[in-house]
Amino acid sequence: MKLLQCPVNGIRPVSEFTYGGEYREMPDPDTCSDKEWAGYVHYRHGAPGLKKEWWYHGPSGTWFIAERNTLTDKVSRTYLYGQENKA
Amino acid sequence: MTLRIAEQENEWINRDMPLTFEYEGQQIEAYEGDTISSALWAADIKVLGRSFKYHRARGLLSFANHDVNALMTDGVDTNIRADVIPVTHNMQLTAVNTDGGVIKDKGRYIDKISAFLPVGFYYKTFHKPKWMFPFWEDKIRKAAGLGEVNFNYPRITRAKRYAHCDVLVVGAGASGLSAALEAAEAGSQVILVDENRKIGGSLTYDMATDVNTGSLLKQLTENVLNHANIQVIADAYAGGYYTDHLVPIVEKRGITKVRAGTVIVASGAFEQPPVFRYNDLPGVMLSSAAQRLVNRYSVKPFTKGVLVTANDYGYRAALDLAAAKVEIVAVIDMRQTGAEGDLTEKVKQAGIAVHLGSCIYEVVPSSDKLGVSAVIVCPYNEATAEADLHQQVVLNCDGVAMSAGWAPAAALLYQAGTQMRYDQAVQQFVPNQLPEGVFAAGKVNGIFELEQRLLDGKRAGAEAARYLGKSTADPVAVMAHRGNSPSHPYPIVNHPKGKNFVDFDEDIQVKDFINAAKEGFDNIELMKRFTTVGMGPSQGKHSNMNAIRILARIRDLPVEKIGSTTARPFFHPTPIGHLGGRGFHPHRHTAMHEWHVKEGGVMMEAGVWLRPAYYLPLGINLTSQQAVQQEAMAVRKSAGMIDGSTLGKIEVFGKDAAAFLERFYTGKFASQKVGNSRIAMLLDEAGVIVDDGVAVRLDQDKFYVSTNSSNAATVYREMQRNLQLWGMQVTLVNLTGVMSAMTLAGPSSRSILSELTDLDLLEEAFPQGAYREALVAGVKARVMRVAFVSDLAFEIHVPSSAGLHVWQKIMEAGKTYGLRPFGTDAQRLLRLEMGHHLISHDTDGLTNPFEAHAESLVAMDKAFFIGQRSLKILQKKPVKKKLVTFVLDADFGELPKECNLVIEKGEIAGRVTSISFSEYVNRVIGFAFVLPEQAKAGHRFAIRTDSGRIEMAEVVEHSFLSLNQG
Amino acid sequence: MQNVVLQSPVAFAQTSLKPEMGFINGMAIVNRYSDPDVESRHAATLAICDVSCLTRFAIKGPAATDSLKAKGIELPGSANSWSRHDATLVMRLGNSEFLLEDPIGVQQCKELTEQLQSGDGVHVVLRNDASFILSGELLEELLAQVCAINLSGPMLADNQLAMTSIAGVSVVVLRQEVAGQSLLRLWCDGTFGVYLWETLLNIIKELGGGPVGINQFFNSN
Amino acid sequence: MPLRLLKYAVSREHPAPRFFRDCTEPKKTYDAVIIGGGGHGLAAAYYLAKDHGITNVAVLEKGYIGGGNTGRNTTIVRSNYLTPEGVNFYNASVKLFEDLSEELDLNLFYSNRGHFTLAHTDSAMRTMRWRAEVNKHVGVESYVVGPDEISKACPQLDISCSGQAPILGALYHAPGSVARHDAVAWGYAKEADRMGVEIFQSTEVTSIDVKSGKVVGVQTNKGYISTNRVLSAVAGFTPRICEMVDIETPIVIHPLQACVTEPMKPWLDTILVSGSLHVYVSQSSRGELVMGSSLDPYEIHSTRSSLDFVEGLTSHITDMFPFLGNVKVVRQWAGMADLTPDFAPIMGKTEVEGFYIDAGWGTWGFKATPISGKTMAETIARDMAPDMIKSFRLSRFEDYELTGEKGAASVGH
């Protein structure tokens, strides 16, 4: 059972968390093409590497961003969304 | 005859506690503290089992928890490992996998025909003709397998525990003890685990011809056991290494999951057998096994033995055995150069002949083929692995002890991600690069000499403390191994007739590897899979290293180029009951749960909730069908009430509340009036319907939103995420478990409710879709007019602590009206009669609003909502299916079921998603997906039933209630 | 709210134990399960006590801190910690979320409920906690069986609280010293209360402990 | 004793040749290059040679053959899917499997056991009926059965599941089988090799050379190879290969874990799957229980094992078989699965000419081995996907035409 650092609640086993998928920038729905939108909805950056991901700490109801290398499973840092620079 | 000898200094048996047990029908005397194998051996019983494939007689091999040929059953348990499981009084044991007893096993004929069963033989035959394979397969399956499973074995739920420490030390041998002490001295909390009943590791059996071993053991043991910072868990093994230093410690009582700050692996090494013909006969065993027998259990391994060795350890073992008055005829050293220092002299002084550069060419079986009568010793050519048959010496003996080298017990290191390298100085794999926070010490680290092992432990302990920031001291220096290698690079003796076993679990001989390579399986992983080496219950503990050496020689490559196979958990086979243990299955109860149960509610799991499906009140004889119809009819004719506390209930509060809901849901909320409700339909980004609930506007900046029961947690979570993402001024509160909800429905519902509240419930004052706050039965309640199950229905939400009170008051007030509780089954029927579909019952993971007749709930003209952009794309495409309401022809023959198919021109056109007989409508009604061209009211379509009949149905307009003629 | 008998979220799980009931803050609550000697022994060994009846007040929102301060409530300095305001327990569940709980006989939460209403930037939060006291010398053993994190270490020291998972249920936990005994306080969603009560009680019984009534910790008279 | 084994006893030299040559140096040019020496890649090579006469083919495997998911799955073969296209496709695979031992002259231990997908909830029962109806429609023997029939086939099963989740019924699928997974790869390798296909182990593709939207070659650690046709058959590594040709896919990688027990005498003849309990189990011909569960909940490109997995699985297996408490788990392992949003594979051509994809196999790749090989071989040979796999095309995601398998998502394997 992996450990993960919730930026508010500290280090907890991964069983306390829900994985929320990769954080992805939404294209502007008003200006993007259908193809771009379909790609945004369906396609993923599947290759391994350092990714920004959504994680949710269940007991406290906290969403946050984890920067995790999906090859090594090492988390380099976690922070609340929008507070990247405070981390 | 007994092989038990006089009391040894550190023996583990309690001679004051004799006991008896039965093995294969024979009464055996033993002592408390004996393992099954030691007790049998003491009684001169040496056939402890039959091998997996050839059914050869087998005895002791490792005595270290990988003697998988000595598996027993006591009639309750199976595959009991005789080498390590303590014997208990009155135990009744038989060997597994025999037909007619371990001695007369009928399966032993297979050994005679083994020439017909080359490596991978089962791939090469039995498949032609195809129809014969089931016959052969049945035979093969019955021959395979070890013990029989006991279907009456009781279910065991052992507690599982978590533990936390700074340093976990795996292995309490010299290096582990020393590591634990060092780390503990630096202030770390240490857990020290060892699979033996007593700590000390090889110090407890490898006296190493040194009189000081005993006192060292005593001193280390005392220091460790008395150290406040060290917790010792003996008789337990570390099952595996998992991410972030999680190591399950498997004890008899259950599993402890240890989360450590760092892990020191000091797990030692497994002794490896040299390979020669008939090295598997009962009486041939590893030297360390012989030492364990003598020093722990005071049992002679044999009365007159030879010791074959390919390292210096064999000499020490010979001296140990000799010191215990076990007659050793000769030490046969496969090396030309012999042992270092004065070992050879000491051995000779003990009256033991030394044959240098010699090997056992083969063991001569006793006449019954169940033991050893002699060994044939020949000069050994280390370069060719051949014996020189021209100079044979026959040595009579009844047993052989074998030393050829060691394989590191590095499973945990591999699992942690350690990169290993092959160290020529010790001829074994040693850690090259350890992962962060993982340390290795002792034999597993390639350090063999006792003094250095103690230092290596100290070093690892200090490094661990430094890693944790508990110490800044420099770790001591440890000397790399010098002199003779503890392991021989190729302790294999070729023999034209084979039966020189490499893997005792799977009966794999040297030629099997050669032949596998010839067939192209010359990669270690392929070879493992083709020969099954290391796949047996011992997981290659005594076979993988020799397999690698053989393959290296076949391919003429250095060992490190062959690499090793991965070591997966578990370190030892681990019981399912331990791993499963006490599982936690959380579930939720509504405040009215007790009432439902008392009133005959048949409770069903609905996600994490328990809900009544219907009620079978005591004393009334009803089928479930009748109950459901009666409950539904009560709602239509008078009144019914359902516990809807499982609905998701979320407060959305703040100045951006309406704007937030507009982005989140498909509908419009900015214009919604305070005190009114609207449908809240949620899509995913692909435009698929995820949920539908109701949003009530409590105030300008406050909404109370409900979700489907099964989606409550997900919807709340997604709201939280989008709130962060959108940066809006909104506070969310999840009231799902805080509020009880009940829906009072039916024509009498107004009258009933009016008895408990001052609220004006008349249509004009409280119309459909309206929301009011009032006291109901003295409790502050939130009341809504909803029309999900009935045109007249009130949904009443109260704090859960008052839920039961309000529910009971309403039930009392409704008594004279014929108010009945109804369950989820009746609810399904009622909403069907109303023409309301259920998300994820009538829709599936691909249904969009255009298909589900839900266009009116989608405000495409809004600036944004989740899924909108995808709907814009979907809008341009033809709709492929439509959800419609239908009535089945009245004269149907077989009632279709949900998920029966709609068939059009012989092809699948859709499926029935809901179907039920409605007593109120007096017809069978339902929802179905059909082709768009079939979706108009009045269209008739065909449903194929389970038995293949075609039943006709007709599409109707949405509510079925109008069909009621009565 | 005359004649309204409030139910503890775990009432259902307790009735079969045939306890002696009492009323606190309008809620039916177990005074004791067995004779005081047995209960005292349980409390010392390992015990669970239902204190769901204590009055609570919760508030959330960007202005929550200010509005509590305006009422003169002393607040814990950081998220995931707790303090006392007089006898009232003040828990800070996040930067802008608070849960207060009165011991028996104290009216602080009631007053706040009456005085503070949801408004700009504050939201009064309804609660329905199942709340337990866990006590006894085998407490750490119980926790070892139900919680993956180390609650005996610094996690709960110095007035820290933790939001974590116990037997699969999300909980708020903190440690209190009562008469020299270290107790664990626990709050969870009331609808998980019966499950958690039963799960914990089963293990507690295995370990030689049992349930105790609220009289063991509070004088309800 | 079959006569075929006689020669092994009488000849001095082991009388069996290599299954496949030890190829080390690739040629400069091949008509087609297959990336991935697992079951799928080797089957594609075999059918390219056998069905289409294309034998100048290189199979490039970065490890050893069958070392990926071919050797890590739980060996179940079935065709009881939800959509007609899915059922037809997997049914064709079952048919090929049935004759495959004879065709490859290697005993694959293809063992017809019957397959029960247990339903513990109403909604699961509905899905079972849905699948049964679609299966029947296309001629596959699947039907919904009640607890009694399940008990008859597996009397040891606790129908109440220790009270945790009583079994209401099941989807019975008569053709459900198990096979010796490694041997499938070896058999295809053997016969492909015999027809001239060259198989390179320890050979890793480092880049794919695309000029003007067309594949022209691949760079490997053993040199550059010119070719106009490249097939990616690398479950678990698909996104990395697709990145080389700049193709986007919906595939994410989640580990799928499994474990085996010690061997025991045969008692479990059927294959059992429970969606609610996240368990599937069968007993191998060696006597081990082979057990698996659902995919790991988050993306990792690694075959590490987790304790959570084996704790959850064993807890659920004892709900089904309470007497297994003292049976021991010997080994656990993991594979990396390509996961798609609609639980169907991605097969066929791509926007890069000459780059073909055989991917997205989630947890069901092994059972598709023969048919994926056959259909991909045809796709490569004709530069056109056969009708059978058209609905699995990559472009379906851009077209919002996902397959209906998403409806049966709760039940895998």
Do B and A touch, counting CB pairs below 8 Å (3 needed)? yes
User: Domain B493-577 class?
Assistant: mainly alpha
Q: Any idea what the CATH number is for the domain that residue C105 is in? A: 3.30.70
On whether any CB of chain A is under 8 Å from the CB of D63, the answer is no
Q: What pLDDT is recorded for position D412?
A: 40
Distance CA B673, CA B671 (A): 6
Give the pLDDT band (50/70/90) at residue D29.
very high
Which D-chain residues 257-316 have CB contacts (< 8 A) with chain B? 261-267, 285-287, 304-307, 310-312, 314-316
Which D-chain residues 67-126 have CB contacts (< 8 A) with chain B? 67, 71, 84, 98-99, 101-102, 105-112, 121-123, 126
Q: What pLDDT is recorded for position D413?
A: 38
User: Which of C125, C142, C166 corresponds to the end of one domain?
Assistant: C125
Q: Coil, helix or strand for B458?
A: helix
**Domain B648-734 bears CATH identifier 3.30.360.10:** no
Query: pLDDT digit string (tens) for C49-60?
Result: 999 999 999 999
Contact C6 B805 (CB under 8 A): yes
Phi/psi region, residue C161 (left: phi>0; alpha: psi -120 to 50; beta: rest), is: beta
Q: What pLDDT is recorded for position B318?
A: 96
The 3-class secondary structure across B105-116, one letter per residue, is CHHHHHHHCHHH
Is C102 a member of any domain? yes
Phi and psi, residue B315, nearest 5°: -65, -45
Is C90 a member of any domain? yes
Contact B724 A41 (CB under 8 A): no
Query: pLDDT digit string (tens) for A16-40?
Result: 999 999 999 999 999 999 999 999 9
Contact A41 B720 (CB under 8 A): no
Residue of C nearest to B260 (CA): C150
Is C38 a member of any domain? yes
Q: Which residue of A13, A57, A62 is in closest CB contact with C149?
A: A13
**Helix, strand, coil tally for chain B in percent (to 5):** 25, 30, 45
Q: What pLDDT is recorded for position B583?
A: 86
Is C220 a member of any domain? no
User: Domain A3-25+33-86 class?
Assistant: alpha beta
C205 shares its domain with C97: no
Q: What is the mean pLDDT of chain D?
A: 94
CATH code of B1-153, in short, is 3.10.20.440
Which residues of A fall within a CB distance of 8 Å from C162?
Answer: 9
Domain residues for the domain of C147 are: 6-54+128-213
Q: Kindly report the nearest CA distance between residue C127 and chain B, in angstroms.
A: 6
Beta bridge partners of C182: C177
Q: Which residue of A16, A58, A60 is in closest CB contact with C94?
A: A60
Contact A29 B734 (CB under 8 A): no
Contact B267, B460 (CB under 8 A): no
**Domain D28-109+178-261+296-413 bears CATH identifier 3.50.50.60:** yes
Residue of A nearest to C160 (CA): A9
Strands B393-396 and B372-381: antiparallel
Question: Tell me, which fold does domain B160-270+407-467 have in CATH?
Answer: FAD/NAD(P)-binding domain (3.50.50)
Q: What is the CA radius of gyration of chain C?
A: 17
Superfamily for the B878-963 domain: Aminomethyltransferase beta-barrel domains (2.40.30.110)
Is there a shared CATH topology between the B160-270+407-467 domain and the B273-404 domain? yes
User: Looking at domain B273-404, which CATH architecture does it have?
Assistant: 3-Layer(bba) Sandwich (3.50)
Phi and psi, residue C41, nearest 5°: -65, -45
Q: Coil, helix or strand for D353?
A: strand
Task: Give the residue extent of every domain in chain A.
Answer: 3-25+33-86
Q: What pLDDT is recorded for position B581?
A: 93
Q: Any idea what the CATH number is for the domain that residue C146 is in? A: 3.30.1360.120
Task: Give the residue extent of every domain in chain B.
Answer: 1-153, 160-270+407-467, 273-404, 493-577, 648-734, 878-963
Residue of D nearest to B249 (CA): D307
Phi/psi region, residue A30 (left: phi>0; alpha: psi -120 to 50; beta: rest), is: alpha
Is C219 a member of any domain? no
Query: To probe the interface with B, which of C188, C191, C206 has the most B CB atoms within 10 Å?
Result: C191
Q: Which residue of C125, C193, C194 is in closest CB contact with B733?
A: C125
Q: What pLDDT is recorded for position B9?
A: 86
Per the structure block, which two tokens stand in for B712?
Answer: 């409550």
Contact B589 C146 (CB under 8 A): no
User: Which of C125, C151, C166 corresponds to the end of one domain?
Assistant: C125
Distance CA B500, CA B496 (A): 10
Per the structure block, which two tokens stand in for D408?
Answer: 């049966």
Q: Coil, helix or strand for D341?
A: coil
On whether any CB of chain C is under 8 Å from the CB of B233, the answer is no
C41 shares its domain with C29: yes
Contact D297 A38 (CB under 8 A): no
Contact A70 D253 (CB under 8 A): yes
Do D and C touch, counting CB pairs below 8 Å (3 needed)? no
Residue stretches of chain B with pLDDT short of 50? 966
Which residues of D fall within a CB distance of 8 Å from A44?
Answer: 239, 249-252
Distance CA B98, CA D116 (A): 32
Query: DSSP code of C81?
Result: E
Per the structure block, which two tokens stand in for B141?
Answer: 């399956």
Query: DSSP code of A25?
Result: P
Dihedral Cα D213, D214, D220, D226, nearest 10 deg: -150
Q: What is the CA radius of gyration of chain D?
A: 21
Contact D264, B79 (CB under 8 A): yes
Which B-chain residues 232-261 have CB contacts (< 8 A) with chain D? 240, 242-243, 246, 248, 257
Residue stretches of chain C with pLDDT short of 70? 1-2, 219-221
Q: What pLDDT is recorded for position C1?
A: 44
Distance CA B773, CA B755 (A): 16
In sequence order, the 6+-apart residues with CB closer than 8 A to the CB of B894 are B945, B946, B947, B949, B951
Per the structure block, which two tokens stand in for C127?
Answer: 């609660």
Q: Which residue of D253, D297, D397 is in closest CB contact with A46?
A: D253
Domain count, chain C: 2
C-alpha distance from residue A62 to each of A49, A81, D297 (Å) = 25, 10, 18
pLDDT at D410 over 60: no
Which residues of D fall within a CB distance of 8 Å from A15?
Answer: 308
Strands C210-212 and C47-50: parallel
Q: Is B325 exposed, middle or buried (0-12, 13-18, 19+ CB in 10 A)?
A: exposed
Q: Which residue of A47, A53, A70 is in closest CB contact with D243?
A: A47
Beta bridge partners of B942: B903, B952
Q: What pLDDT is recorded for position B965?
A: 54
In sequence order, the 6+-apart residues with CB closer than 8 A to the CB of D150 are D116, D118, D157, D159, D167, D169, D170, D172
Q: Kindly report the nearest CA distance between residue A12 and chain C, in angstroms.
A: 7
Q: Coil, helix or strand for B619?
A: coil
Q: What is the mean pLDDT of chain A?
A: 95
C153 shares its domain with C61: no
On whether any CB of chain D is under 8 Å from the CB of B123, the answer is yes
Phi and psi, residue A13, nearest 5°: -65, 150
Is C133 a member of any domain? yes
Task: Give the residue extent of every domain in chain D.
Answer: 28-109+178-261+296-413
pLDDT at A87 over 70: no
C209 shares its domain with C132: yes
H-state helical runs in B377-422: 411-416
Query: pLDDT digit string (tens) for D319-346?
Result: 999 999 999 999 999 999 999 999 999 9
C184 shares its domain with C142: yes
Q: Kindly report the nearest CA distance between residue A49 and chain B, in angstroms.
A: 18
Query: To probe the interface with C, which of B156, B656, B731 has the most C CB atoms within 10 Å?
Result: B731
On whether any CB of chain A is under 8 Å from the CB of D302, the answer is yes
C198 shares its domain with C154: yes
Contact A1 B868 (CB under 8 A): no
Which residues of A fall within a CB distance of 8 Å from D300?
Answer: 70-71, 73
C18 shares its domain with C116: no
